[in-house]
Structure 1
Amino acid sequence: MKKKWLIGLSSILGLLLVTIVLFHTYEQKNSHTATDEVSSANTEKAHFKATPTIYLHGYGAGVHSTAGMIAYAERHNGAHKVLTAKISPAGKVELQGNWPRKTKRPLIQVILQDNKNSNYYTTREWFYNLILCLKQKYHIKQYNTVAHSMGNIMTLSYQLKYGQERDLPRLKKQVNLGAPFNGIIGLDEKPNHNYLLKNGKPKYMTQSYQYFLAHRHNFPNNVSVLNIFGNKENGTNSDDDVSCVSAQSLRYLLRGKVNYHEIEIKGAAGQHSKLHDNYKVDQIIGRFLWPK
């Protein structure tokens, strides 16, 4: 009887020992697996520390609108186009291309398939989808923008809604080209009708500009902003489509929040569509985004 009891006890102790060994092995394995996963995730994130610059075209435009600026940046500024982001009329983002993890100055070209949608309540959500997509796939922390014409309204309205969201990548530098912040000639403005008051406030404000002004507090702080506008010097004080006053209205809108610079391009080179195909403008943008 005593022998049977000892055999039973030995069996129980043996089973317990095996269980302990197996449990310890399982814990070690899981611990290593978890560590490997974290390490892998950190490595993935570490490879995308570079700040991408996002190029956006204007109303009715497309790939050719920003292609010249991107080509200049690749030739002269050590930058590289890594992605094309196509955004559908429903706001779906399709990323095409390859982003090598060690690219120092990655460039992203945005193509809007519905390129005549001027409703900034809609287009700002498209930009939100893009930023969210880049965050989830490439773990970006910040970004720059270079926008022409209506592309500026798309990005501005995004910032005025999401610019202070802490869980989203932050705007670092913003370049505006021919931006109709306070009206477009022929639509809601006439040449030489509007002017800036002594404090920089525009005398007349469009409904859109009033909306922007009411939400200016949402624009992120400490952003470097370069505002480039054209003046053909043909008596209209405009680039044919956007008046100098309309473009310069950005200064009052962002007063006290950003590091602001503006540059006027005079003569024929200051025509609205020529602003994005201008060697001098390309040089200015390069020095602003990637100073030596």
Structure 2
Amino acid sequence: MNAVTIFVHEFNGSADSTDHLIHGAQKNGWAQKMLVVKIKNDGAMDFDGELDQQVANPMVQVLFENNRAPERRQVSWMHQLLIKLRQSFGVEQYNGVGHSLGSNVLVNLAIKFGKDSRLPALKKLVTIAGPFNGLHGFLSQDTVKDVMTKSWEPNKRTHHFKKLVRNRHLFPKWG
């Protein structure tokens, strides 16, 4: 089995949040959705489907019952899910696709637990609209042109952003 690709939705998200990405990959023959994991508020997990070792590029959709849970709780749940995927399904590598808060969850998971040998290894990561500096400036009146000419670095760094920058050396390295 190649790396399993795990999709994580945004704050207040649902299956609809990542369905279009998953359906697009299936329609083009790039991957196959194999498993939906519903993580309950107490951390219990319901698995719908199976991971077939013969499928080249299996996809796993993660759904949080409490889709408004704090990021740190979602990171903890994802940590437990990855342990379970390795122990129960033999997953050795994974790709992550996160949308909005899902991006933050996957990046923080990699930083916090990247050296945990109980987890599959992170192979690739795609972040889509990750609010890494929180929602500071979210309601900005800046035009697209103004935004495009700004520096990559935020004018004001939130606590979360500072922590990410401080711990970036812990992010797993790729070959």
| TM bucket normalised to smaller | 0.7 to 0.9
Give the Cα–Cα distance (whole angstroms) in 1 for the partners of residues 114 and 35 of structure 2: 23
Identical columns (%): 28
Structure 1 segments unaligned to the other structure (5+ residues): 1-48, 224-292
Give the Cα–Cα distance (whole angstroms) in 2 for the partners of residues 168 and 130 of structure 1: 9
Picking from 22, 32, 41, the partner of 1:80 is 32
Letter in 1 for 2:110: Q
The CA deviation at 1:182 is 1.2
Q: Which has the larger strand fraction?
A: 2
Aligned to 2:123: 172
Aligned to 1:263: none
Aligned to 1:111: 63
Inter-CA distance 185–206: structure 2 relative to 1 (3 Å threshold): closer
Correspondence 1:135 to 2:77: no
Superposition pairs of residues 48-127 of structure 1, within 5 angstroms: 49-117=1-69, 119-127=70-78
CA contact (8 A) 1:93 1:129 kept: no
Aligned to 2:171: 219
RCO (CA 8 Å, sep 6+): is it higher in 1 or 2? 2
Structure 2 segments unaligned to the other structure (5+ residues): none
The CA deviation at 1:185 is 5.1
* SS of residue paired to 2:7: strand
Deviations 1:209-236 (A, max 9, x none): 011122212110127xxxxxxxxxxxxx
Give the Cα–Cα distance (whole angstroms) in 1 for the partners of residues 128 and 141 of structure 2: 19
* SS of residue paired to 2:37: strand
* SS of residue paired to 1:182: strand
Superposition pairs of residues 141-290 of structure 1, within 5 angstroms: 141-184=92-135, 190-192=140-142, 195-196=150-151, 200-222=152-174
Q: Which has the larger helix fraction?
A: 1
CA contact (8 A) 1:83 1:97 kept: yes
> Between Structure 1 and Structure 2, how many residues are aligned?
170
Give the Cα–Cα distance (whole angstroms) in 1 for the partners of residues 137 and 68 of structure 2: 17
